[in-house]
A and B are shown apart, each in its own frame.
Chain A
Amino acid sequence: MNWVWFYRLGSPLWFYQTTTRWLPWLSLLAFMLLATGLVWGLGFAPQDAKQGNSFRIIYMHVPASFLALVGYFLMAAAGAIGLIWKMKLSYMVMKAAAPIGAALTFLALFTGAVWGKPTWGSYWVWDARITSMLILLFLYFGVLALQYAFHNEEASNKASAVLALVGTVNIPIIYKSVDWWYTLHQPSTIKLTSAPSMHPDMFQPLLVMILGFYCFYVVALCLFTRVEILRRERKTTWVGDLIGSSNNAVEGEK
């Protein structure tokens, strides 16, 4: 089998140049989707029969939770590719995914707490869904901490990747927790096999928000990875040229 395309994909220079071209368009798309989804969901979607307006927090809560889980798989997959193929870029992607995932997990927990008070009557309960989500936050923190725990970059990469891989078992647990155990958290509204148990007028803006979060996630991941590329590749000639030329441009303006 020919693996050349795979190794080209792993070139930091190729990644940097490609994302330079695509990022403005992707950012624009993310912004438009999020703006549309927010205005539609918060302003125009009908209120819920029982919860009234407080249900609207779903337009942040569900997309953030979704991406927190998907982002963890992505981080673990990047770690696995790094372990097997020793690909520099994939370790950088893994490192970039950790703070974004942690932020999204925190957002999911926070919006859930804000919604829980008026709906359940409590900010926080220790049911299986919420506890496993808190473990996810700590797993993200663990990967982040391991990145800074070693002087040797190779060692920190390997340790983070192993933790990320071990932590993947938590993702199906989070996803299925509401079905396996009696929890206070309700089962999923969006199901894989059947229609969502939500009125279409409310579901369509949610779909736009989820797409918007996906685009935003990719944009954020690319930006964090680019910073990591510049930091780790700072001794290469192409980064030197890049920084040199931007310095020259600043000089020229003066």
Chain B
Amino acid sequence: MNNLRKQRLEVVLLIIVAGALASGLIIYMLGQNANYFYTPSQIARGEAPEGVFLRAGGMVVEGSLVRDMDSLALEFKVTDGSSVLVVQHTGILPDLFGEGEAAIAAGKVDQNLVLQATEVLAKHDENYMPPEVAESMSEAYLDKRKTAAGIQ
């Protein structure tokens, strides 16, 4: 490579490094603000602002879903293993919402640290398997998940 090309190569590298540096700083400044949702622990520690629209997500605790018989009001608990957050919502849940599955609820946290959700989304994990495989391993699978989520 002659000198001119070397010079241009340096300019190209400079562009990439400068771009990486700039976006690196932006990402660093964004930090946790770029998260789509808060975890129950963060809300319990008071890291989430009170009375402001936010999202919280975690694993739906087994057996925690309670529906009101006369309306669409419902309540369930989500956990990240160390803390539990109560979510209250009025509406229809997505098809893939389920106990032991991950979900994200959007709304405001009231002074009792209960999330009054206006929207509930189901979060899907990266695992794919046919029904019969899921069935045959469901016992071991559920046990593993429960230990992971810290539920006895």
Given contacts A120-B124, A184-B104, contact A199 B129 (CB under 8 A): yes
Q: Taking chain A's interface residues, is the majority helix, strand, or loop, or is none over half, making it mixed?
A: loop
A83 to B15, CA, bound (A): 12
| Residues on A with beta carbons closer than 8 Å to the beta carbon of B15 | 162, 165-166
- 3 smallest beta-carbon distances between A and B, as pairs: A121-B94, A49-B134, A46-B130
Please tell me if the beta carbons of B128 and A199 are within 8 angstroms of each other in the complex.
yes
Smallest beta-carbon distance A50→chain B, Å: 6
The answer to whether B123 touches A184, judged by C-beta atoms less than 8 angstroms apart, is: yes
- SS of B interface (majority): mixed
Q: Is B112 in contact with chain A by the CB < 8 A criterion? A: no
Instruction: Categorize the interface residue count of chain A.
Output: 35 or more
CB <8 Å contact, B128 and A198: yes
Q: Is A173 an interface residue, CB under 8 A from the partner?
A: yes
Does B109 make an interface contact (CB < 8 A)?
Answer: no
Q: What CA separation (Å) do A65 and B98 show in the bound complex? A: 28
Is there a chain B Cβ closer than 8 Å to A169's Cβ? yes
Identity of the chain A residue whose Cβ is nearest the Cβ of B35 in the assembled complex: A182
- Shortest Cβ distance from residue A90 to the other chain B in the assembled complex, whole angstroms: 12
Do residues A183 and B8 form an inter-chain contact, with CB atoms below 8 A?
Answer: no
Q: Does B49 sit within 8 A of A, measured CB to CB? A: no
User: How many of chain B's residues touch chain A, expressed as a range?
Assistant: 35 or more
A168 to chain B, nearest CB (A): 6
Whether B35 contacts A181 by the Cβ 8 Å rule is yes
Bound Cα distance A169, B8 (Å): 20
B51 to A: closest C-beta gap in Å: 21
Evaluate whether A119 and B96 lie within 8 angstroms (CB atoms) in the complex, with A50-B124, A165-B19, A182-B37 already known. yes
Q: Which of B12, B20, B126, B129 contacts A84 (CB 8 A)?
A: B12
Q: Which residues of B contact A173 (CB under 8 A)?
A: 23, 27
A residues in contact with B68, CB < 8 Å: none
Contact A169 B23 (CB under 8 A): yes
Query: Is A127 at the interface (CB under 8 A from chain B)?
Result: yes
Contacts of B24 in A (CB 8 A): 169
Q: For the complex, is A240 an interface residue (Cβ under 8 Å from B)?
A: no
Which of B5, B32, B130 contacts A48, CB < 8 Å? B130
- The reply to whether A84 and B19 form a contact with Cβ atoms under 8 Å apart is no
Contact B128 A121 (CB under 8 A): no
Assess whether A24 is interfacial by the CB under 8 Å rule: no
The answer to whether A46 and B131 touch across the interface, beta carbons within 8 angstroms, is: yes
The answer to whether A186 touches B128, judged by C-beta atoms less than 8 angstroms apart, is no
> In chain A, residues 36-55, which have Cβ atoms closer than 8 Å to a Cβ of chain B?
46-51, 55
User: A121 contacts which chain B residues (CB < 8 A)?
Assistant: 93-97, 119-122
State whether B8 touches A83 (Cβ < 8 A): yes
- Once bound together, how far apart are the Cα atoms of A103 and B71, in whole Å? 45
